[in-house]
Amino acid sequence: MSSQETSAPNRPNVVVIMTDQQRWNTLGCYGHPVVRTPHLDALARRGVRFEHAYVPIPLCTPSRACLHLSQYPASHGIRANETFPVPDPSRTMPALFRQAGYRSFLAGKDHLFGPEGRAVAFDRCVAFSHGGREPSPDETPTDAAVREGRKGLMARKYVEVEPFPADACPTARITDYAIEMAEQAGDQPFFLWLSYPDPHPPFVVCEPYATLYRGAEIDPPITKPNESAEKPLRQQVSQRLMRMDSYSVADLRRMREIYYGMITFVDDQIGRLLRHLDALGKRENTIFVFMSDHGDYLGDHQRVRKDVALYDSLVRIPFFVTWEAGLAGGRVERDAMVESIDVMPTLLEWAGLPIPRGSQGKSLAPFLSGAARQHRDRVFGSYGVEGEAYTAGDVEQVDFERMFATPYSWGNWVSRLVMQGRFSMVRTHEWKLVYYANGEGELYHYPSDPNEMTNLYGRPAYREVERALLESLLQWTMSTASTEPPYQAPEPPWLPTAG
């Protein structure tokens, strides 16, 4: 169904389901050998699932800005979690749908808009963070108890069992509100950002999910001895800041068990939402997008959670789109590459709405309809903030003993020590190049090294590959420079006329 055929009374509903920090392959439909996700797998089979989807930056707030503004970090300017809220919420995806007559809703984690921005972008917002529901006059006593019980858990490796019944926990409560919102929309089309805080830390989940994978053959982390020795300095420092020497094999296994349980809990709740949409008669003409804002190491590369790097563990995400009334399903795309900035123009085009000036994404609609033969053959990303990257001499001056003597803090992993100094990535099916402003680099060859263990950067045999990828990266950097405010150059009379 083309955008021209989408008349106002038949405009599709839109549900963007976003999990937080979920690795790209942790769904049954992606072939994971352990994680059980039957509802998401079934939803994916009814739509189009992409094997190669990526975010431009693997950090919560900047990644969410990329999605909702359809811009790269260098254009929207949000490059760290501390730089929210978004400066102009009226230009974001939910605000554009709201301006077009949709009811716009947020159920779950925000970490982009803030209270003032929510008032612009959403008709109703019920916000949760990793500590539970944000304080609200209409919260239940259990909401408050969950929030109190989660204080301080972020600093722990994993937490085992959350002492509340499943229907009182944030994942279920968020789904309760999502169902309410779909009902509240009535006959109006609605946009819903269903944003689950899980499986992001704290690694805690209620029963039966906390012990669901105990005893299962858990896939081990992928590492190699002394891997970081041939990687950029900030990665070596980050590994030290994470105190990886304190993680045992049993710790990493239990972390994965809890993480997988959190994902299955989300899957069960999505199944509940789908049943309610069926009962309301709204499922067929609802576009579902499933994605995450970034991934997680889970012990790969001898690291946990996330840090300042651009490995596939972090930038590659699960991604599928399902629209039973307007998109032929049962399709898996293994060649086309997708960026999260492509979501907004795709959804706007399908809803028959204009794509705003300044959008840097590429609509999937022509490719999925067959009007375009290909979408992308490479993706890009960037990380880091202003300033010079720390040198080995700078690192020698850091008082690590003092840092280790202080309470554990995830903030150490994204401190100035590793955030300062920018770097960018180009990723094709065969190669990834990560180039750092201080001259360091990473080069990986996927056919021979799918897990990015061996850094080939700087080796003479790959000089031509580096040169071609650097040229591609330079072209991307130049072509995606900010175009706001738009500039219209004067046209002197000696220019040829258009046409």
Q: Are 297 and 286 in contact (CB under 8 A)?
A: no
Centroid of chain to Cα 73: 13
Residue that the structure tokens 């040229």 belong to: 471
Structure tokens at 72: 């790269």
Strand, coil or helix: what is 51?
strand
Using left for φ > 0, alpha for ψ between -120 and 50, and beta otherwise, residue 101 falls in: left
The values of phi and psi at residue 394, to 5°, are -60, -45
DSSP code string of 430-451: SEEEEEETTS-EEEEETTT-TT
| Helix (H), strand (E) at residue 466 | helix 463-479
Q: Which residue has the tokens 């009379």?
A: 493
Q: Nearest-5° angle of CA 347, CA 343, CA 434?
A: 165
> What is the separation of C-alpha 153 from the centre of its chain, rounded to a whole number of angstroms?
22
Q: Does residue 106 contact residue 195 with C-beta atoms inside 8 Å?
A: yes
CB-CB contact of 468 with 62 (8 Å): no
What is the domain partition of the chain in residue ranges? 10-377, 382-479
Residues linked to residue 155 through DSSP beta bridges, in sequence order: none
- The CATH H-level superfamily of 10-377 is Alkaline Phosphatase, subunit A (3.40.720.10)
- Tokens read off for 190: 């609605």
Query: Which long-range CB contacts under 8 A does 360-363 form with residues at least 24 apart?
Result: 360/70, 360/71, 360/72, 360/75, 360/480, 361/70, 361/71
Q: Tell me, what's the pLDDT at 152?
A: 86
Tokens of 420: 């300062």
Q: How far apart are CA 305 and CA 303, in angstroms?
A: 7
For strands 316-322 and 160-161, give the pairing.
unpaired
Task: Report the 10 Å Cβ neighbour count for 8.
Answer: 10
* CA–CA separation, 107 and 184 (whole Å): 13
pLDDT at residue 17, rounded to an integer: 98
Q: Which fold has domain 382-479?
A: Arylsulfatase, C-terminal domain (3.30.1120)
Name residue 233's amino acid: L
Q: What distances in angstroms separate CA 136 from CA 39, 125, 160, 194, 437, one per listed residue?
A: 31, 11, 28, 19, 45
DSSP codes joined into one string, 255-307? HHHHHHHHHHHHHHHHHHHHHHHHHHT-STTEEEEEEES----TTGGG--S--
As a whole number of angstroms, the distance between CA 155 and CA 410 comes to 7
CB distance 433 to 417 below 8 Å: no
Cα gap 448→444, rounded to integer Å: 9
- State how far the Cα of 162 lies from the Cα of 207, in Å rounded to an integer: 7
- Written as six digits, the tokens of 354 are 């204009």
Beta bridge mates, 380: 426
Per-residue pLDDT of the chain (499 residues; tens, 9 = 90+): 443 345 556 899 999 999 999 999 999 999 999 999 999 999 999 999 999 999 999 999 999 999 999 999 999 989 888 777 899 999 999 999 999 999 999 999 999 999 999 999 999 999 999 999 999 999 999 999 999 999 988 888 888 899 999 999 999 999 999 999 999 999 999 999 999 999 999 999 999 999 999 999 999 999 999 898 899 999 988 888 888 888 899 999 999 999 999 999 999 999 999 999 999 999 999 999 999 999 999 999 999 999 999 999 999 999 999 999 999 999 999 999 999 999 999 999 999 999 999 999 999 999 999 999 999 999 999 999 888 999 999 888 888 888 778 766 656 666 788 888 999 999 999 999 999 999 999 999 999 999 999 999 999 999 999 999 999 999 999 988 766 666 666 666 665 654 4
Residue 232: partners with Cβ closer than 8 Å, 6 or more residues away: 423, 436, 440, 441, 442
Please tell me the distance from the alpha carbon of residue 383 to that of residue 436, in angstroms, as a whole number.
Answer: 10
Helices (H), 33-169: 38-45, 60-69, 73-76, 93-99, 114-121, 141-149
The DSSP code for 324 is T
The SS3 call for residue 153 is: helix
**CA–CA separation, 427 and 107 (whole Å):** 33
Judge whether 122 and 94 are in contact, CB under 8 Å: yes
Supply the pLDDT for residue 495.
57
Alpha-helical runs (H) found in 167-227: 170-184
Sign of CA dihedral 235, 238, 243, 244: negative
Max Cα distance, the chain (Å): 77
Looking at residue 398, its pLDDT comes to: 84
Distance, CA of 86 to CA of 67 (rounded, Å):
12
Q: Cα separations (Å) of 289 from 47, 297, 321?
A: 10, 24, 5
